[in-house]
């Protein structure tokens, strides 16, 4: 009985160490068969890698639907004072705010309405340039006095309050910090909508894993809190500062 493995704590410990050594080394010349053979590990790793590909690459294609904007808008053209007259402002920010302006009460207009566009594009039969987009805009929207149904990349949930004037005027925050470098783009990107929440991918994050390389890759609560803390306004992370 003393020679049996389980009759002694010492022999049990030695047997366990030997068992682990054999499992780790996968000794081919031993009679021990590890619980997980090489083939099982291959299937396990294939399953993990397949799941990552499914979750991080394939799933976002299913989760988000791509919708083109009703018409293209060339930001780079309109912000170039050498090519476009009538848009006031010396700096890039001032020219952005000429169309994306603040009302007298400090509230933000956001996407300009048709009346702002027709300050320059006032005659449907007389385009200011020779682009196909402008001609289409004049025919489809200016002539019938119809608002352009723009899709908003940055629409936050209704429970979120965001003051542009506090960030742009008081905080002197550049537009591209949250919205990206739209000022130099010639074409509008496709609008990607989350089919479950109805919000843009620009809000929930362009990377489903949560990683970001630019400040404008996401506009979630954690990103706001991160910026507040970095800029020395950690007190603004209180719940009811943003959630009214």
Q: What is the mean pLDDT of the chain?
A: 83
What's the whole-number mean pLDDT along residues 9-37?
53
Decide: 176 and 183 in contact? Cβ < 8 Å: yes
Whether pTM > 0.75 for this model: the answer is no
The mean pLDDT value for 82-98 works out to 90
Between the alpha carbon of residue 220 and those of residues 123, 130, 158, 167, 235, the distances in Å are 41, 40, 14, 16, 17
Contact 194, 206 (CB under 8 A): no
What confidence tens digit (pLDDT) does each residue in 159-175 have? 999 999 999 999 999 99
What is the model's pLDDT at position 1? 45
Instruction: Specify the range with the lowest mean pLDDT, choosing from 23-27, 34-38, 55-59, 174-178.
Output: 23-27
Over 80: is that where the pLDDT of 114 sits? yes
Would you say residue 157 has pLDDT above 60?
A: yes
Dihedral over alpha carbons 227, 233, 235, 241 (to 10 degrees): -70
- Domain boundaries in the chain? 5-65
């Amino acid at each position: 009985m003393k020679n049996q493995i389980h009759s002694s704590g010492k022999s049990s410990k030695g047997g366990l160490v030997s068992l682990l050594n054999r499992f780790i080394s996968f000794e081919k010349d031993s009679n021990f068969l590890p619980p997980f053979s090489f083939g099982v590990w291959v299937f396990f790793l294939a399953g993990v890698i397949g799941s990552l590909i499914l979750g991080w690459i394939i799933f976002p294609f299913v989760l988000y639907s791509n919708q083109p904007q009703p018409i293209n808008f060339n930001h780079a053209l309109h912000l170039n004072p050498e090519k476009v007259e009538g848009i006031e402002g010396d700096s890039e920010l001032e020219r952005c705010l000429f169309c994306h302006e603040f009302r007298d009460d400090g509230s933000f207009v956001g996407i300009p309405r048709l009346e702002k566009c027709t300050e320059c594009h006032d005659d449907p039969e007389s385009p200011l340039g020779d682009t196909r987009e402008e001609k289409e805009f004049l025919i489809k929207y200016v002539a019938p006095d119809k608002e352009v149904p723009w899709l908003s990349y940055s629409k936050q949930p209704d429970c979120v309050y965001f003051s542009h004037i506090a960030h742009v005027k008081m905080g002197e925050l550049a537009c591209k910090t949250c919205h990206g470098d739209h000022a130099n783009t010639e074409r509008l990107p496709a609008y990607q909508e989350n089919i479950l929440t109805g919000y843009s991918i620009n809000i929930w994050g362009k990377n489903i894993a949560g990683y970001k390389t630019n400040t404008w890759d996401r506009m979630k609560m954690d990103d706001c809190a991160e910026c507040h803390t970095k800029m020395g306004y950690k007190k603004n992370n209180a719940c009811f500062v943003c959630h009214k």
